[in-house]
Structure 1
Amino acid sequence: MHNRVGRGLVVLSAVLALLMAVPAATASADTIHSGNTVCSMYVNSVGFGAYCSSGQPYLGTGAPPPTWRERLDGRPFIPCRDFEIPGGVELPEAPEGKRWVLRITITDYRLDTYNGGPRAHLERAYVPVNPAEAAQCPQPDYMDYFWYTFRSTYPEPALVVKPTFTPRVNVPAFFSLTKESSEQYKETGELSGYFDPTHNLTMRGMVVEMTIDPGDGTPPFTCKMGTTPADDPDGYDETQDPFHQMNTCKHTYKRSSANQPDGMYTVKLTITWAVAYWIGRNAGGWHEIGKANVHAVQRLPVQEVQAIGG
């Protein structure tokens, strides 16, 4: 299957600009257990990612995996750790002498298990801390084993217009995004495995909706995105003219852009990303954890030509 927005066509990314002035709130999933790892995930207007505990997998020769207590070797277990605030999260100015941190705490854990036990989970909090408060969650090197983070930012949107690079007046223009700019994956790889790779945690961001303000004074319109068969990856039938297409993500300009600044319309895009996760090969498919919007601007010339050519 291909993402419906995946097009191998002319890309207009050179003049496309991302606008991150209004980030979405962070969305978190419930704690996810994947092999020997416990993870808490997030999604916002900048990207998505996960904070995980338990550390690297045990890939031994059949002996029981070491417990958390055995890994500590008599040293104290420190259940909390402070991280930088994820991109896309806006907070008020911190009180004087303090700074904001994302404090993640492992709770309901059992040291005599290899993965913290079935009730272990992560609690997240944005807290302002001064040096003394930050010292409540020290980060000695031996505790690094129990923490792992991974993240992915959304690719810059690459807008595609069919049937021509420059839309023509009174001829439908069809809008889409390239596959490379509408789908993003991130996985924990070896760090999530326990004996075999079926525990690997994968996160996927996919564009599910795109709202387009064409810039000519007409109302914005919304295009649903999704997946299409491999033999129709872009939804545009090259054997048919623009007036006989099934694709509904289109707009017909009635006037050229000759009188616009720089001779181009300013097209505003709101791109909705849905982020989901998948654990191993037999976990019931993708599970969505949240959505976030990314805003972008495209400058688009429109020609006063009545013919379909191109």
Structure 2
Amino acid sequence: MHNRVARTLLTLSAVLALLTVGPTSSAFADTIQTGNRVCSMYVNSVGFGAYCSSGVAYIPSGTNPGPPPTWREKLGGKPFIPCRDFEIPQGIRLPKAPEGKSWALRITITDYELDSYNGGPRAHLERAYVAVDDAERAQCPFPDYMKKFWWRFDDTYPAPALQIMPTYTPRVNVPAYFTLTRESSEVLKSDTRTLDPEEMLSGMYDATHNLTMRGMVVNLNIDPGDNTGTFDCKVGITPVDQPDGYDHSKDPYNQLNTCKHIYQKSSADQPDGMYTVKLTITWEVSYWIGKDAGGWKSIGKANVTAVQRLPVQEVQAIGG
């Protein structure tokens, strides 16, 4: 697939015992040029990732201030193999492969120019899920000298950590506020602060080209479990001075946070004495390729669904 949005069935492997997920979409960004790399990215209900070609980043030095070597020069007379097979990204559900074959994610570099340092302006990556046998896998060999032309990373979303304020056990007729912890609301991958030299270089050719991907929770849909219907909360990263999204200097009736619910009955008559709260967490994945590149650009969104058991007490006061 190239420069289009593709849809497929996704499933979430258990992060917590009560996590579930339904059908959603898998989105692919347009192929991008980031420094001396050509990259293609994906996002689904398990996580996100990127596949890049053109090799280890080149940073001019005082002894070698010239332009980076071309692909032809990097090859040193060896043949260029434009395709490579990867494992299927976690979260993609495919039918059973034909007898004697297995599924692979085949990525092919097309419209490339060997006499360019990054494959040329028309170079892009095409991706396909293919069922292959040994002979078909041999069509895309991966010798050691081709390793410098490929780079990838991926990451999964953290398990959701739901915070409920002002007490974890809500009280009847008192607003209960819902937020996710900062740690479970954002994933930043390929940050230049990493200690891994290869990741630190990621797509970098100069100080303005560096591929970074970010997953951030942008919406929280909550079914409080008391048959009152669902409600949406526009969310982001909680501020450092209020990491639980709650102003402890004010009472529950005077909070800026609008992500709240008031239970009218206790959970005493519910199974195990607790309401079953269902969360649909919408992650938006974006990429950034340099300080002058126009900021974060969205790739797509994916939903993760979680279930939380919540006791509610019949006490019309805030207590311990």
Q: Answer whether TM exceeds 0.5 for this pair.
A: yes
Distance 1:132 1:193 in 2: 36
The aligned counterpart of 2:202 is 191
State whether residues 186 and 237 of structure 2, in contact with CA within 8 Å, keep that contact through their aligned partners in structure 1: no
Between 256-265 and 70-79, the greater mean CA deviation after superposition:
256-265
1:15-59 Cα shifts (integer Å, max 9, x gaps)? 964534435332100011111111000000000010000110122
In the aligned structure 1, how far is the partner of 2:49 from the partner of 2:67? 31
Whether 1:216 and 2:226 are equivalent positions in the alignment is yes
- When structure 1 is superposed on structure 2, of 246-255 and 287-296 the one drifting more is 246-255
Q: Which moved more, 1:182-191 or 1:80-89?
A: 182-191
User: Structure 2: how far apart are the matches of 1:32 and 1:88?
Assistant: 23
Gaps of 5+ in 1: 1-14
1:272 CA drift (Å): 0.1
Does the C-alpha gap of structure 1 residues 191 and 239 become closer, same or farther in structure 2, counting only changes over 3 Å?
closer
The secondary structure found in structure 2 opposite 1:204 is strand
Q: Which residue of 2 aligns with 1:308?
A: 318
Which residue of 2 is the match for residue 41 of structure 1? 41
* 8 Å CA contact 1:267, 1:300 repeated in 2: yes
Give the corresponding residue for 1:54: 54
One-letter amino acid of the structure 1 residue matched with residue 51 of structure 2:
Y
Per-residue deviation, 1:134: 1.2
Amino acid at match of 2:186: E
Instruction: Kindly indicate whether residue 293 of structure 2 is the aligned counterpart of residue 283 of structure 1.
Output: yes
After superposition, the C-alpha distances for 1:156-178 in whole angstroms (9 at most, x for unaligned) are: 11000011121011111000001
State the alpha-carbon separation in 1 of the partners of residues 319 and 19 from structure 2.
34
Distance in structure 1 (CA, Å) of the matches to 2:189 and 2:97 = 32
When residues 217 and 129 of structure 1 are mapped into structure 2, their CA distance, relative to the original with a 3 A threshold, is same
Deviates more, 1:27-36 or 1:244-253: 244-253
**Which residue in the other structure is 1:8 paired with?**
none
Q: In structure 1, what residue type is equivalent to 2:277?
A: V
Aligned to 1:90: 93
Whichever residue aligns with residue 106 of structure 1, its letter is I
Structure richer in strand, relative to its length: 1
Q: Give the equivalent residue in structure 2 for 1:69.
A: 72
Q: Contact 2:284–2:300 at 8 Å: present in 1 too?
A: yes
> Could you report, residue by residue, the CA deviation over 1:45-81 in whole angstroms, capped at 9, with x for unpaired residues?
0000100001101224203321111111111100000
Q: Are the aligned partners of 1:20 and 1:45 in contact in 2 as well (CA < 8 Å)?
A: no
Distance in 2 (alpha carbons) for counterparts of 1:203 and 1:129: 31
User: 1:28·1:289 contact (CA, 8 Å) conserved in 2?
Assistant: yes
Structure 2 counterpart of 1:145:
148
Residue in 2 that maps onto 1:3: none
Deviation at 1:234, TM superposition (A): 5.2
TM-score, with structure 2 as normaliser: 0.87
C-alpha distance in 2 between matches for 1:134 and 1:16: 36
- 1:165 and 2:168 correspond: yes
* Structure 1 CA distance for aligned equivalents of residues 100 and 22 of structure 2: 27
SS of corresponding position for 1:210: strand
For residues 18 and 291 of structure 1, do their structure 2 counterparts lie closer, same or farther at Cα, with a shift above 3 Å needed? farther
- For 1:20-31, what aligned pairs fall within 5 Å after superposition? 20-22=20-22, 24-31=24-31
Amino acid at match of 1:58: Y
For 2:300 and 2:241, the matched residues in 1 are separated by: 30
Stretches of structure 2 that go unaligned for 5 or more consecutive residues are: 1-14, 191-198
**Does the 8 Å CA contact 2:217/2:236 hold for their aligned counterparts?**
yes
Amino acid at match of 2:295: G
Could you say what the CA RMSD is over the residues aligned between the two structures, in angstroms? 1.8
Give the aligned residue type for 1:205. G
For residue 111 of structure 1, the aligned residue among 110, 114, 135 is: 114
After TM superposition, the score normalised by the length of structure 1 is: 0.90
Q: In the aligned structure 1, how far is the partner of 2:310 from the partner of 2:238? A: 27
